[in-house]
Homo-oligomer: A and B are copies of this chain.
């Protein structure tokens, strides 16, 4: 195995780990070295089903992966309620950390993870894949363009999908002891991130959940929404749900331009993705049609976004290993902000849709 490849261990055999296993295999600077599950048999089955390299080690515990000196970084797809325990332990074992979202049960809990990463000099990144698609950078270029977009005034984001009966009964995302944030932590995470992304990660001063939250019998959120407010008057809304047809939109409206994307979390296709923009859109003189229609922009990519995420994470890990650079602080910072807004929305729901100031 080449010295330049970052060696990943995976702890847990969640569905999403299948996608990440493929992503690690696709990323040119990463390889899978080990997988651990509480059941050795399950880990072994997972490794064969997902084409692990024959030399990959199979462990019957998470600890064994963290103790393996051949593991540089771990990918943690465990339920949210287990994040703090295993993420902190991984950092203490000097493993760089790629952690699934939502990153923790709360920002306060997440701070223990950040502290562990900082004091052990390991890189942290959460598993928000769309951040790494080249389309995202292109969209951001548009939003940052004074001439084409101007100042952001309002934003709407939604991510819904229609969970089947089995999901609604058995998935970890509907279990209060596993992923207590439900649809807010899963789909809502992406909505919140997209809004923060569009606002240059400036935290809103306050949020108010929208009424009409749907909870399951155990009190886990199946559908909810919120409005977010900034000091300068910007307003954003989002809606997330396990109970509606698959939809994932971002709409950013600025003083001079408008951005639309309809597949922002997971692009329609692996190798290309589109978005549309309008600038100084206007009607003809009689207001019977538009002078100019929005333009569609299509961005191609050789690697799917999840492999680009792994590649970027591994690049940072390599730099730390080879050049003794410090971990890139951007990634834990935006994870924490996303969690802060998520916490505030959750608090607003719990307090009967009160306005809740966002912490810091």
Contacts and interface: CB of A to CB of B under 8 A. Distances in A.
Across the A-B interface, the 5 shortest Cβ-Cβ residue pairs: A246-B281, A212-B235, A153-B244, A247-B258, A244-B253
Given A154-B160, A255-B162, A304-B288, A210 B239 contact: no
Interface stretch (A83-91, A165-173, A265-273, A320-328): A265-273
Most buried by B among A16, A211, A260: A211
A127 interface: no
B225 A212 contact: no
Most buried by B among A225, A276, A287: A287
Given A16-B287, A154-B244, A212-B235, A262 B260 contact: yes
Contacts of A112: none
Interface string A4-25: 0000000000011011001000
Given A156-B237, A212-B229, 9 more contacts: A156-B156, A158-B251, A211-B355, A214-B233, A225-B227, A227-B227, A239-B253, A244-B258, A262-B294
Contacts of A254: 244-245
A154 B241 contact: yes
Contact of A225 (B154, B276, B280, B283): B154
A218 interface: no
A123 interface: no
Nearest to A283: B266
A246 B258 contact: yes
A266 B290 CA distance: 8
A266 B287 contact: yes
A106 interface: no
B262 A289 contact: no
A162 B266 CA distance: 32
Contacts of A214: 233
Interface string A240-252: 0101111101010
Contacts of A260: 249, 262
B255 A243 contact: yes
A136 interface: no
A10 B221 CA distance: 54
B225 A210 contact: no
A18 B276 CA distance: 32
A223 interface: yes
A254 to B, nearest CB: 6
Contacts of A15: 287
B288 A19 contact: yes
Contacts of A233: 212, 214
B281 A247 contact: yes
A339 interface: no
A1 interface: no
A121 B265 CA distance: 55
A253 B154 contact: no
